[in-house]
């Protein structure tokens, strides 16, 4: 499509306007974050996005991702990413992954014209009938999620496309892809294979190993596809896999990291909230928000309390053995930085703020967030010291600002943006960092830089897209609308006085803010006692912490452990269990 290639002609006027707007920031005092300064920051993020986007179109389109240093491409979604241009299969044109990932970002940035051009190109050219082995999880969150979200944006009341041009082409492509996914679920356990050939299905001798995220983070995209098409098979397959996975949890409500889809046995028993597990927790809560099913909330509630109890150490989260809860690895991984944003959705603002500040402290130490940092040794991991333009810290910063409106988070966002421009911007786009100590660059601009990193930074400074709307974002940053028609049952409205105490046959059980599904900041005990400090917190019955039995002691706000009554008559964490 010629319009994608004509970079200079379409951008020169735009950049002149944007740079003129940015230059006016000198007129605003630096000590305040005025609405004018927020506008300037959002325009700077636009420049970042279009620098990455236009270079992709000029040098890599229609292939998957851009290599900004050499201004070439990589087809990273599939095994074709290992091949050079001259070795590509005949007539292979790529999946235009970065273009798909950019669709919702274009809408959020207000560029409906480019959104329309991209939608129409994909409608005419994209095909999944290719002999390519793809990762089910990555293809689901990036491609299926991108198509489903863009279809919704193309058909909502905003009328972003010229009337009559769009006839559900993206939804048709999404359904075609979803049908190809279903073959991965044909296992004795219902857990899907991690890899599938889009044309031929599961190949002979395919690996049976997958991750918790890989088989437990499919419900948003496949559930949305079922809601849009009326075909329940997609949601049913994802839900069956999720239920099987949850049934494999330990008695501590912990899960491992990797497992076998044929035997249903765990391979790696150690896990945390980072790589291999992260989006599993995220999708439990977001599926409850999107579909209104209490089953998802009950899973998340149990899983969240277990995480706080066995993984949390102050503001940090280490890894632990799912069977014993004993710590295994004391390390920060960059993917963990999504957790504060998830805690905001729970209403656990205090805990979210505490962890977020530690992640940002590490960012400030190195200029970016390293992939892995060893907490017990206070040093970088010897091999995983790269930064691939990940979005998680920007994502959590956006959520925390939305919850608190504290301008400090705007300063964090500005710092992230300045670091990205200082260390990763090159003539051909934005490059990953191979070593955060030397800032040597890697020749790869991941599609999630456009789908998430730029998107969350823009929304931090300009959230007009969210005005009068209610969205949840998938783990790849694709917005899905929360609407009652997708809910099997609209969740009950909870208020601080609607049941602080729950009666059982034997006793009165005091509930946490999380059990009641209210924000901890507004949750009060029946007696008007102290506010809950976290989602799992149940204050002691008496403000002086005196007690006569364990029932008068609550749940600790830091680690979600049950407090007990000592011989001296005081509530505390007296037991090691």
Token pair of 59, please? 């040098």
Crossing angle of helices 454-461 and 35-59, rounded to 10° = 160
The span from the CA of 95 to the CA of 454, in Å, is: 21
Residue 317: phi and psi, rounded to 5, are: -130, 115
| Burial class of residue 570 in the structure, from the number of CB atoms within 10 Å of its CB (0-12 exposed, 13-18 middle, 19+ buried) | middle
pLDDT of amino acid 343 = 97
Give the per-residue pLDDT at 79: 53
d(CA 84, CA 106): 30
- 414 is an active site residue: no
**Is residue 406 annotated as a catalytic residue, yes or no?**
no
Assigned token pair, 65: 């991702």
DSSP character at residue 60: T
Spatial separation of the C-alpha atoms in residues 144 and 234, rounded to whole Å: 12
Instruction: Write down the catalytic residue from 114, 175, 235, 278.
Output: 278
Alpha-carbon distances, residue 531 vs 81, 137, 405, 568 (angstroms): 53, 40, 21, 26
End-to-end CA distance of the chain: 63
Indicate if 319 belongs to the active site.
no
Catalytic residue among 371, 395, 414, 533: 371
Beta bridge partners of 503: 508
- From the list 114, 392, 540, 556, the catalytic residue is 392
| SS3 state at 67 | strand
The response to whether 475 counts as a known ligand-binding position is: yes
Q: Residue 25 in contact with residue 37, Cβ under 8 Å?
A: yes
pLDDT of the chain along its 577 residues, tens only?
434 444 333 333 333 323 333 333 333 334 468 999 999 999 999 999 999 999 999 999 999 999 999 999 998 776 543 333 333 444 555 689 999 999 999 999 999 999 999 999 999 999 999 999 999 999 999 999 999 999 999 999 888 888 889 999 999 999 999 999 999 999 999 999 999 999 999 999 999 999 999 999 999 999 999 999 999 999 999 999 999 999 999 999 999 999 999 999 999 999 999 999 999 999 999 999 999 999 999 999 999 999 999 999 999 999 999 999 999 999 999 999 999 999 999 999 999 999 999 999 999 999 999 999 999 998 999 999 999 999 999 999 999 999 999 999 999 999 999 999 999 999 999 999 999 999 999 999 999 999 999 999 999 999 999 998 999 999 999 999 999 999 975 444 433 333 333 344 344 567 888 888 888 876 654 445 667 888 999 999 998 999 999 999 999 988 899 999 999 999 999 876 4
| Bridge partners, 74 (sequence order) | 65
Q: pLDDT at position 163, please?
A: 83
pTM score, two decimals? 0.88
CA distance 324 to 411: 41
Judge whether 545 and 570 are in contact, CB under 8 Å: yes
- Distance of CA 116 to CAs 50, 122, 166, 284, 307, Å? 16, 10, 9, 33, 43
Annotated catalytic residue 392: yes
330 CB contacts (<8 Å, ≥6 apart)?
313, 316, 318, 319, 374, 375, 376
Residue 523 has what pLDDT?
65
d(C-alpha 186, C-alpha 391), whole Å: 33
pLDDT at 162: 85
Of the candidates 79, 116, 138, 384, the residue annotated as catalytic is: 138
Instruction: Give the angle 253-257-263 at the CA atoms, nearest 5°.
Output: 90
- Angle at which helices 169-181 and 219-229 cross, to 10°: 120
Q: What CA–CA distances, in Å, run from 556 to 212, 314, 474, 520?
A: 28, 12, 31, 13
According to DSSP, the β-strands at 209-211 and 258-260 are antiparallel
Question: Cα separation of 498 and 511, whole Å?
Answer: 11
Count CA atoms closer than 13 A to 352's CA, side-chain side.
Answer: 28
Using only the alpha carbons of the chain, give its radius of gyration: 24
């Amino acid at each position: 499509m010629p319009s994608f290639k004509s970079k200079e002609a379409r951008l020169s006027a735009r950049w002149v306007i944007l740079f003129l707007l940015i230059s006016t920031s000198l007129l605003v005092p630096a000590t305040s974050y005025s609405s004018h300064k927020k506008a300037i920051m959002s325009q700077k993020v636009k420049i970042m996005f279009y620098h990455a986007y236009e270079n992709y179109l000029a040098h890599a389109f229609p292939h998957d991702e851009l290599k900004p240093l050499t201004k070439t491409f990589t087809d990273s979604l599939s095994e074709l990413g290992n091949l050079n241009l001259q070795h590509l299969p005949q007539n292979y044109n790529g999946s235009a992954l970065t273009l798909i990932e950019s669709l919702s970002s274009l809408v959020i940035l207000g560029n409906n014209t480019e959104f329309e051009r991209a939608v129409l190109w994909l409608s005419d050219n994209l095909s999944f009938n290719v002999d390519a082995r793809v990762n089910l999880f990555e293809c689901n969150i990036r491609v299926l999620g991108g198509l489903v979200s863009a279809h919704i944006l193309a058909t909502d009341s905003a009328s972003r496309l010229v009337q009559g041009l769009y006839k559900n082409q993206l939804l048709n492509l999404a359904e075609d892809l979803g049908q190809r996914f279903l073959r991965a679920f044909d296992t004795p356990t219902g857990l899907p294979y991690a890899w599938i050939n889009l044309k031929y299905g599961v190949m002979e001798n395919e690996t049976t190993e997958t991750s918790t995220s890989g088989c437990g983070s499919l419900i948003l995209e496949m559930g949305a596809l079922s809601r849009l098409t009326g075909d329940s098979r997609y949601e049913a397959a994802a839900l069956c896999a999720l239920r099987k996975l949850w049934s494999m949890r330990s008695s501590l409500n912990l899960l491992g990291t990797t497992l076998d889809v044929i035997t249903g046995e765990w391979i790696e028993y150690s896990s945390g909230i980072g790589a291999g597990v992260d989006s599993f927790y995220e999708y439990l809560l977001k599926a409850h928000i999107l579909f209104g099913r209490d089953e998802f909330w009950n899973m998340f509630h149990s899983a969240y309390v277990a995480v706080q109890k066995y993984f949390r150490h102050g503001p940090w989260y280490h890894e632990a053995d799912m069977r014993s809860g004993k710590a295994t690895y004391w390390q920060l991984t960059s993917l963990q930085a999504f957790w504060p944003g998830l805690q905001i959705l729970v209403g656990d603002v205090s805990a979210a703020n505490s962890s977020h500040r530690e992640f940002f402290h590490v960012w400030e130490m190195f200029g970016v967030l390293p992939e892995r940092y060893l907490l017990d040794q206070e040093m970088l991991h010897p091999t995983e010291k790269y930064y691939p333009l990940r979005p998680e810290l920007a994502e959590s910063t956006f959520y925390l600002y939305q919850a608190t409106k504290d301008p400090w988070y705007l300063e964090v966002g500005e710092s992230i943006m300045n670091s990205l421009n200082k260390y990763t911007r090159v003539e051909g786009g934005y490059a990953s960092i191979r070593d955060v100590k030397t800032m040597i660059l890697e020749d790869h601009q991941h599609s999630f830089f456009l789908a998430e990193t730029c998107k969350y930074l823009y929304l931090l400074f300009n959230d007009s897209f969210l005005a009068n709307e209610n969205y949840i974002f998938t783990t790849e940053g694709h917005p899905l609308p929360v609407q009652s028609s997708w809910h099997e049952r609209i969740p009950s409205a909870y208020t601080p006085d609607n049941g602080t105490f729950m009666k059982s046959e034997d006793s009165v059980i005091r509930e946490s803010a999380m059990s009641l599904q209210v924000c901890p900041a507004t949750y009060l005990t029946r007696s008007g006692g102290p506010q809950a400090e976290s989602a799992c917190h149940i204050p002691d019955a008496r403000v002086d912490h005196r007690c006569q039995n364990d029932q008068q002691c609550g749940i600790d706000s830091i680690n979600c452990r049950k407090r007990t009554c000592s011989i001296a008559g005081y509530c505390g964490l007296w037991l090691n269990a």
